Amino acid sequence: MKPGCRERVLAGFWSGGFEGADHVNRAGVPLDMVRASGHLDQLEDDHARAAGAGFSSVRESIGWRLSEDAHGVIDLDRAQRVAQSAGRHGLQVVWTLMHYGVPDGLSLHDDTLIERFARFAHQVARVVGTLSERAPVFNPINEISFLAWAASQPHLLHPPHNTVDADAGTMRNRGYDVKCRLVRAALLAMRAMKEVEPRCLFMHAEPLVHVVAPRQQPELEELAQTVCGWQWQAWDLLVGKERPDLGGHADSIDVMGLNHYHNSQWELETGQLLDWHARDPRRQRLCDLLQSAWNRYGKPLMLAETSHVGGGRARWLHDMAGEVAEAQRRSVPVEGLCLYPLTDRPDWNEPERWHRSGLWHVTHTEPSLPRTPETHCLTALKKWQQYLPYRPADEHPLVLVLCHRPWGVAGHRTRHLMEHVSHQWRVVWLDEPLPWNGAAHLATHSCGPALELLTPHLERNMCGTYARGGHEMTALVLDHLCAAGLKPHAVWLTEPSSLPLALAMKPACLVYEPSTNADAHDHWHAQALEAADVLVAADEEGARACKAVGSTVHRIGSGVNLGHFREGACHPRSWAFMEACALQGKLPRPLIGFAGTIDGRLDLALIILVAQARPGWHFMMVGPVLQLDLADLPRLANITWLGEQPPELLPALMSQWNLAWVPWRTGLATAGSFPDQVLEFLASGLAVVSQWIDELVPLAPAGVRLARNPTMLLQCCELALAQSEVHRSAEQRLAQQFLRARSWEACAKRATALMQAHTDR
């Protein structure tokens, strides 16, 4: 090793963790999350899955309370089993010694635990530390700050570890006392471990948070900053910045473990979370928080815990990985990212309730059953493993997207297309503005390794169309791209009022794809047609909107992610399938479904007529409601309006339907349009019944039945429900052949080829 260089603490960048909390919960129930999650019974399989998914290390908890009894007898057999299993699969273990719990007879409010913990740590280093060929890595006490805070509260821990004093000042003092006590225990433990195993390295994991004053109470901002600053106390005590009399020193930290979740940012006093899904503008970027930790301590960092739940898991992974990539681009030494937990786990206080936050789903009634992979999370992970640790990207061309629909409306055509374009080009999507009382700025979110979402925060009167906020928006976007050293090679425009912004980018290629509701008399639409280098249309209606200028119109139809929707893609033990069962499993059959935008194209009168004619059928309507009043939606006993659902959930919902339908209005509103969702229905193995739409006629042999009136539509539904397995299988084979040529990947290749042809000129 070169002089001045140090050994990396972690064997590789990507790490996974297994939940290991072992305290006695507020109801007096002793926890053993390693056992409750089924991990202890499936060590070999869990470690094999982790290694197979590209993880080089795992976080495991030894559990002081579980390993030492009230008489001081220490049993580390379980830890040795974990170490041996991980070793067989080539995984480094980052060990937590104390995961909140202490042996019976000890209290977090008593100094007696300090010497006892050092004695335990000495034994761990002697027995477990010597099992690793690499320098062993230990997290002595997990989240000192959180545990000290919990010990200052009356109802989070069981006596004698809680605080029953009602006075807030007294509770804060008790929490600080516990924090100092735990730091003393950690420092003494590290010294004891070094004595027996000098190679020991130490990671100290603490929550990384952000706290703000409530909007209605700006006078609390100074206090909010003070509370936010408390997150540094444990590390300050460990390195001797605060209370040097405790023995803290700079060498006590080899790597800082930073734990950050979607609920790690909140309002002071109200406890209201700064909503990540709604992109609360008061949220602070993770890359800025990581930068603060690096500036404060100059120690290498590890994002030691992060995850989300349910359908938000893959999107959260994209966002966090993008933030880590940005921190590394700024030369902040983030040496690892740990997805925690890798498997689902039960709640600490309500064990019957499970947190669906893992990369592998656990059947909570039988945790010993094999885990079910969460394919969306694993797919997102695989993408980022090609990019992190961060390497300066090759000079991929950049396309700026100015779309008439916001990114958050899942399932719309432009979003699907650009998600796949990002496999070849870098995509920056400018979202619709959000109202904000402060200075105008752009918030950045990663939606993939080469897919960035920009959300403008403007004064309320500047929000709305791009034209109304055009000047300020243009300056914001130009400044952002300039600061990142970026210049759009192309602009993809579907919102014509954004044309001034598009032209200000001076792209080599301006692509205009009119939306389905483009107004032929709108002056922005006319100007966009004239200014465009490339005109694109998804269907005949879009092509008609472009032909007025006499230019060549390139047809890039809609596509489908066949693997996402293929029949059988939803494992009956997966989170998505179980969630779908909870939403619609008890509804009567046959179940006839629609998934797509609930807007003016739907024939509400037809929906009422069909539902009334067949009261024994149930109609499931899934999707966001746009351009319609919720009060106008038919409210019949056999119609369920489920609202917008995560894309990850749609295949599972569709897998339980007996039939799909498209109850669009016929006439000018839908003439020449192609319902994108029909491809998804077919990919899910469903037969489809639709109002007559000319664009769907070629799909009739693949199982799409078209009706010209309500009576005929009912007959088509009955025929589809009654058809034989042989006939249905033949239709499905034809559908699969058709769909293989209609992938979003193929659509994206055509789009990038058009843009590349102009940028190469």
Summarize pLDDT for 203-233 with one digit per residue, the tens.
Answer: 999 999 999 999 999 999 999 999 999 999 9
**Greatest C-alpha distance within the chain:** 89
Specify the pLDDT at position 471. Answer: 79
Q: Average the pLDDT over 668-692 and give the result.
A: 86
CA-to-CA separations, 355 to 240, 261, 313, 362, 553, in angstroms, rounded: 37, 13, 11, 10, 49
Q: Is the pLDDT of residue 726 over 90?
A: yes
**The two three-digit tokens of residue 660, written as one number:** 């799909």
- Residue 568, classed as helix, strand or coil, is coil
Residue 543 and residue 537 in contact, taking contact as beta carbons nearer than 8 Å: yes
Amino acid identity, residue 363?
T
- What length does the chain have? 761
The answer to whether residue 518 scores a pLDDT higher than 70 is no
Tokens 């924090």 locate to 179
In terms of C-beta density within 10 A (0-12 exposed, 13-18 middle, 19 or more buried), how is residue 214 classed?
A: middle
Q: What is the pLDDT of residue 549?
A: 61
Contact between 512 and 528 under an 8 Å Cβ cutoff? The reply is yes
- Dihedrals phi, psi of 84, to nearest 5 degrees: -70, -40
Which candidate, 760, 698, 755, places its Cα nearest to that of 513? 755
| Each residue's pLDDT tens digit, 351-382 | 999 999 999 999 888 888 889 999 999 999 99
- The per-residue pLDDT for 1 is 35
Residue 52: C-alpha distances to residues 360, 542, 700 (Å): 13, 46, 43
CA–CA gap between residue 114 and residue 111 (Å, rounded): 6
Summarised one tens digit per residue, pLDDT across range 250-277 is 999 999 999 999 999 999 999 999 999 9
**Would you state the pLDDT for residue 639?**
97
Q: Is 203 helix (H, G, I), strand (E, B) or coil?
A: strand
Among 648, 641, 681, CA closest to 580: 648
Question: Would you call 749 helix, strand, or coil by DSSP?
Answer: helix
Instruction: Identify whether the C-beta of residue 507 lies closer than 8 Å to the C-beta of residue 400.
Output: yes
Confidence of residue 670 (pLDDT cuts 50, 70, 90): low
- Give every CB contact of residue 48 below 8 A, 6+ residues apart in sequence: 89
Query: What distance in Å separates the CA atoms of residue 351 and residue 33, rounded to the nearest whole number?
Result: 10
Residue-wise pLDDT for 556-580, tens only, equals 988 999 888 875 567 888 888 989 9
Mean pLDDT across the chain, nearest whole number?
Answer: 92
Confidence of residue 459 (pLDDT cuts 50, 70, 90): confident
What is the model's pLDDT at position 93? 98
* Dist. CA 625–CA 516, nearest whole Å: 17
Q: What CA–CA distances, in Å, run from 454 to 30, 115, 401, 514, 608?
A: 46, 52, 10, 22, 41
**CA atoms of 678 and 13, how far apart (whole Å):** 41
pLDDT average, residue stretch 379-397: 87
Q: What is the pLDDT of residue 4?
A: 42
With beta carbons less than 8 A apart as the criterion, state whether 649 and 580 touch: yes
Higher pLDDT, 394 or 294: 294
* CA 450 centroid distance within chain: 16
pLDDT of residue 467: 46
Please give the Cα distance from 57 to 414 (Å, whole number): 38
Q: What is the distance between the alpha carbons of residues 425 and 423, in angstroms, rounded to a whole number?
A: 6
- Residue 3 has what pLDDT? 38
How remote is the C-alpha of 262 from its chain's centroid? 9
What integer pLDDT is reported at residue 463 of this predicted model? Answer: 61
Distance in angstroms (rounded) separating the CA atoms of residues 410 and 413: 9
Structure confidence by residue, pLDDT tens digits, 709-720: 999 999 999 999
Confidence (pLDDT) at 729: 93
The stretch 518-532 carries a mean pLDDT of 84
* Cα–Cα dist 416/407, whole Å: 10
What mean pLDDT comes out for the span 529-534? 93
Name the least confident of 119-133, 228-242, 403-417. 403-417
What's the pLDDT tens digit per position in 146-188?
999 999 999 999 999 999 876 777 788 899 999 999 999 999 9
Least confident of 300-309, 484-493, 517-526, 726-735: 517-526
Residue 470 has pLDDT above 60, yes or no: yes
Tell me the pLDDT tens digit for each residue of 574-607: 888 989 999 998 999 999 999 998 988 999 999 9
Q: What percent of the chain has pLDDT over 90?
A: 75
